[in-house]
Chain A
Amino acid sequence: MLHLVLFLIFGAICVAGAVNLLVQRHPINSALSLVAVMASLAVEYLLLGAEFVAAVQVIVYAGAIMVLFVFVIMLLNAGEEARTGGSRVAILFGIPGMLAGSLLVAWVLITHSGTQEVSAGALPGPPREIANLLFHDFLLPFEVTSVLVLIAIMGAVVLAARPESIEQQKREG
């Protein structure tokens, strides 16, 4: 009962945050709405008994990635965006497309999922089980992902480094 009430409250906060993210005109308000979405998602994970995933969600998304978003917005001193009233393409194709997409997802969920609800503790949640899955059963995909992240970091370094500083380093040595 308590689970259901909490689920509904934080589900509502999550959806409201997502809508607010789109409606707000100032980038920093949008970014903060996204933080609210991340945090309420973490509570939903917690309700499913996945406390480790919930904590990681807060630390990584709300605490690190979104801080960088806010940092960039502050650094660029981005101002309020002007409202364009939406493009004609978006109205013609976007709304029907969105409706069709959500209908498809709802249909798949209704026909292909079991009828019993997921209860707390039914899925791997404690850190030990997650670690077993990550570093034992799915070790190869995990390591491949880390290579992917490494490539992304190297790409960022190459893109961010100024040509002059690379030249200078070559000259020095």
Chain B
Amino acid sequence: MNLTTFIIVSVIKTVIALFVLLTAVAYSVWLERKVVGHIQNRWGPTRVGPFGLLQPLADGAKFLFKEDLIPPHVYKPLYIAAPMLAVMFALTSISVIPIGNVVTIGNIKTPLQITDVNIGLLIVLGITSLGVYGVALAGWSSNSKYSLLGGLRASAQMVSYEISLGLSLVGVLILAGSFSLRAIVDAQAGTFWGFIPRWNIFQGQIIAFFIYLTAAYAETNRVPFDLPEAETELVAGYHTEYSAMKFAMFFMAEYANMITVACLASLLFLGGWHGPLFGPPLLQAILPVFWFGLRVFMFLFIYIWVRGTLPRFRYDQLMAFGWKFLLPMAIANLVITALIVAIRS
């Protein structure tokens, strides 16, 4: 592939990935309102379009045309930069996420992801670890007590749970022997005894899976770990002083992070895009993407389900759970996995 085709293919893939991601963000907000509505025995959005399907567009238009208030007491450069940072890091991490096999269109062969790097997982972890700056700086630069407390809680929580999150992934890395997300998915192809798929969750990583899921909820500041934006005590937490599109950017960042986390969970533990293939060649090419999308949808649904069901942790419970339970479990899982792999080889 020469340079020109490389650039054209990359630009096309980037545009498609961004479009799909932003649409997914908009419609996961719709899905959340709808599902939480039904859990609470009400309808959710119904007025704009059939089943309220055009609600995200209406909301987007509203955010764009609302007055953009900047309170006089904020530290302006960082106040403006913070939502941009949050949404930038949230959208960048999708760049190394693969969504399907390598496809051949004409004489161009390209993987279904923006770029396949051999340290893909580390890049996602690096970008999400930078994502905390958006939240922390928003809290600090707003110069308001609610925002500051929200920002402090968010950074403490994200730094604490990042350790368990990272350690829970090491078991998967040991099994696959690579940082490349594509290689990790390829290592999960096939089945045990013909019917149990060789997903990492069935290769003894089930504890790691639940540690990852719990830590990921805390990383994305979602219920039951949504203390940084606890409405009952902090108004809205770190984005209390934000309005219009700047507020919407934090919202987008949160949902984009949820989608990234769901993608990673599917890739690392549930075999990525592996699933039954049948039908004509075109269907066979599309099915892996469909199976992957189905898994991501399932994770998003569980996110919303948890939000509709669980109450919020108390702050000391949050810290004690992260450091005294999740971290030792993650280390124990890592040691046991390493031992098993060492004995087997």
Give A residues with C-beta under 8 Å from B. Answer: 28, 32, 35, 51-52, 55-56, 58-59, 62-64, 67-68, 70-71, 73-75, 77, 126-127
Contacts and interface: CB of A to CB of B under 8 A. Distances in A.
30 contacts: A28-B78, A28-B137, A28-B140, A32-B78, A51-B118, A51-B119, A52-B122, A55-B119, A55-B126, A58-B126, A58-B130, A59-B122, A62-B126, A62-B129, A62-B130, A63-B162, A64-B162, A67-B132, A70-B136, A71-B136, A73-B140, A74-B136, A74-B139, A74-B140, A74-B148, A74-B151, A75-B152, A126-B118, A127-B119, A127-B179
Given A55-B126, A127-B179, A67 B155 contact: yes
A58 B152 contact: no
B20 to A, nearest CB: 25
Interface string B138-170: 011000000010011001101100100000000
A3 B136 CA distance: 34
Given A58-B129, A71-B152, A64 B136 contact: no
Contact of B125 (A59, A68, A127): A59
Given A71-B136, A77-B148, 4 more contacts: A58-B126, A62-B129, A67-B136, A71-B152
Contacts of B137: 28, 32, 70
Contacts of B155: 67, 70-71, 74
Contacts of A59: 122, 125-126, 129
Contacts of B151: 74
B217 interface: no
Top-3 shortest CB links A-B = A63-B129, A55-B122, A58-B126
Contacts of B118: 51, 126-127
A75 B136 CA distance: 11
B129 A56 contact: no
B122 A63 contact: no
Given A58-B126, A74-B152, A51 B117 contact: yes
Nearest to B173: A127
Contacts of A32: 78, 133, 137
Nearest to A52: B119
A67 B179 CA distance: 24
Contacts of B133: 32, 35, 67, 70
B122 A68 contact: no
B123 interface: yes
Given A28-B140, A58-B130, A67 B119 contact: no
Contacts of A63: 126, 129-130, 132, 162
